[in-house]
Amino acid sequence: MREHRATRGAALPPVTPGSLLVAAPGLGDPNFSRTVVYMIEHRPQGSLGVVLNRPGQAAVRDVLPRWAGLTSDPGTMFVGGPVEVRTALCLAALRTGETGSEIGGLMPVRPPVQLVDLDSDPAPLARRLRGLRIFAGYSGWDAGQLGGEIARGDWYVVPGLPDDLLTTVYDQLWERVLRRQGVPLALLATFPRDPAWN
């Protein structure tokens, strides 16, 4: 896909932990079509994130029962991406004023969002938690790969919000994230799933 005119000539925003990658309308890879990816890590060696708007079929209570009571609706494992689909990653948003520094098993991503070690005890986290989501698999890029995809126009890099992680209207997240960016990206929110409908 070629660079979309909405970003042509603009400086490419940096990818940081907590950034969102929003799939360009023409991104043809079925793993990422109309996805919103929350970035956990971005380093010269590679990048890692999870897709926020693809709920899976498996219930958390059936896979990780200790965490089921803390999981945000709909209580299912989300499909984080096509890499290591038998691996589970957990992201939690802490309540305002909570840092999580005194709780074991947490690694800050971009406060208030934390990466949670699913082998840790969930009990100390419960009262400090705003919400939590568990992902099966993740989205990963080798060194330089993501930068090339962004430069090609496959992804738009935008700021993320904790509500993006916990939203229950995940089926509308792609449109909602684009719409709040303002013009010109907001105009893409109305792009039809099938260009033939236009």
Distance between CA atoms of residues 71 and 166, nearest Å: 10
What mean pLDDT is predicted for residues 152-172?
A: 95
For residue 8, the Cα-to-chain-centroid distance in whole angstroms is 24
Nearest to 37 by CA among 26, 22, 24: 22
Distance between CA atoms of residues 145 and 102, nearest Å: 36
Cα angle: 5, vertex 39, 164; to 5 degrees: 85
Burial 45-54 (b: 16+ CB within 10 A, else e): eebbbbbbbb
C-beta separation of 104 from 120 below 8 A: yes
* Tens-place pLDDT, residues 28-62: 899 999 999 999 999 999 999 999 999 999 999 99
SS (H, E, C) 30-45: CCCCCCEEEEEEEECC
Q: What is the rounded average pLDDT for all residues in the chain?
A: 91
* Tens-place pLDDT, residues 64-96: 999 999 999 999 999 999 999 999 999 999 999
Classify residue 183 by its DSSP letter.
Answer: T
The predicted structure's pLDDT at residue 102: 85
Beta strands, E only, the chain: 19-23, 36-43, 46-51, 55-59, 76-79, 83-94, 106-110, 113-116, 129-142, 155-159
* Tens-place pLDDT, residues 114-135: 999 999 999 999 999 999 999 9
Tokens of 165: 């992680």
- C-alpha distance from residue 146 to each of 48, 130, 142, 198 (Å): 10, 30, 7, 30
Distance between CA atoms of residues 164 and 15, nearest Å: 17
- Residues belonging to the chain: 198
What mean pLDDT is predicted for residues 105-109?
A: 95
CA atoms within 13 A on the CB side of 112: 20
pLDDT at residue 112 greater than cutoff 90: yes
pLDDT at residue 4 greater than cutoff 90: no
pTM of the entire structure? 0.91
